[in-house]
Each structure stands twice: as C-alpha cells, then as structure tokens.
C-alpha cells in the first residue's frame, strides 16, 4: 500500500505542462500519481497514451477496485469521480463512480497537490 500519493489536476489548457511534469518524474518514483483533466464525458480520453509517451511511468485510466501501486499514473476516466482509498474497507484500492471527473482522497496523512495550467512551469 503506497503511503505517498501525488494528485495533479489540470484544465484543458494544462496538457503541455502536465506532459512536462510527467516527463520529469523518475522511473523509480516511490509514489502513486493520480491525474485529473476535465474533459467531456462523451469523448474518449487519450490522456494515458499521451502520458505513457511523455515519461517513464506507466499510465492508465483508473479502474474500480484496482490496487494502488507505487510508480504508476492513474488517470481519472471521463465522467467518473476517482477515489483514492487509503483507509477503510477499500484501503489500497481505487474506486470510481459516475460524476464530473475529480479525484478524492480519504484519510491521507500527507498530500501533495499541484494544478497544471498553461501558465504553470
């Protein structure tokens, strides 16, 4: 179960800074990275493929019930809230529910957040 979680949120103008951020992450990052970019729920998201090309960490859409692993990037799927369950009955797993893309964390002892926008970096 990871203890370090990095959560990054971006608007549609944040794709370039987000790819730069991911490109600068080390391959042995001792944290799980969660990313949300607000996109329309009826449009397929290619963000995991873009992030896979940008840096060394594997990226994929978060899947409900998936174990949280260090050194991976979890992208909130279009139209789904993504929950990072750190404690409780779903500890160490992601949860997804219908709703506007966002990431929520439960019971984190320490959290690092960043917002990527075209003005960042």
Full DSSP string of 44-109: ---HHHHHHHHSSS-EEE--TTPBP-TT-EEEPPTTEEEEEE-SSTTTTEEEEEESSSEEEEES-S
Helix axis angle for 15-23 and 47-54, nearest 10°, is 40
Residue 17: phi, psi to the nearest 5?
-60, -35
* Domain layout of the chain by residue ranges: 5-116
Predicted TM-score (pTM) of the model is: 0.78
The CATH code belonging to domain 5-116 is: 3.40.50.180
pLDDT reported for residue 118 = 43
Task: Give the three-class secondary structure for 42.
Answer: coil
How does pLDDT run across 86-119, given as a tens digit for each residue? 656 666 777 777 765 555 555 444 444 444 444 4
């Amino acid at each position: 179960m990871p203890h370090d979680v990095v959560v990054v949120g971006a608007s549609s103008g944040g794709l370039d800074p987000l790819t730069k951020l991911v490109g600068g992450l080390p391959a042995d990052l001792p944290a799980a990275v969660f990313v949300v970019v607000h996109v329309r729920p009826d449009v397929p998201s290619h963000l995991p493929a873009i992030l896979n090309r940008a840096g060394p960490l594997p990226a994929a859409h978060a899947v409900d019930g998936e174990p949280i692993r260090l050194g991976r990037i979890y992208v909130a799927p279009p139209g789904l809230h993504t929950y990072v369950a750190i404690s409780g009955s779903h500890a160490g797993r992601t949860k997804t529910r219908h709703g506007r893309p966002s990431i929520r964390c439960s019971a984190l002892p320490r959290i690092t957040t960043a917002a990527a926008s075209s003005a960042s970096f």
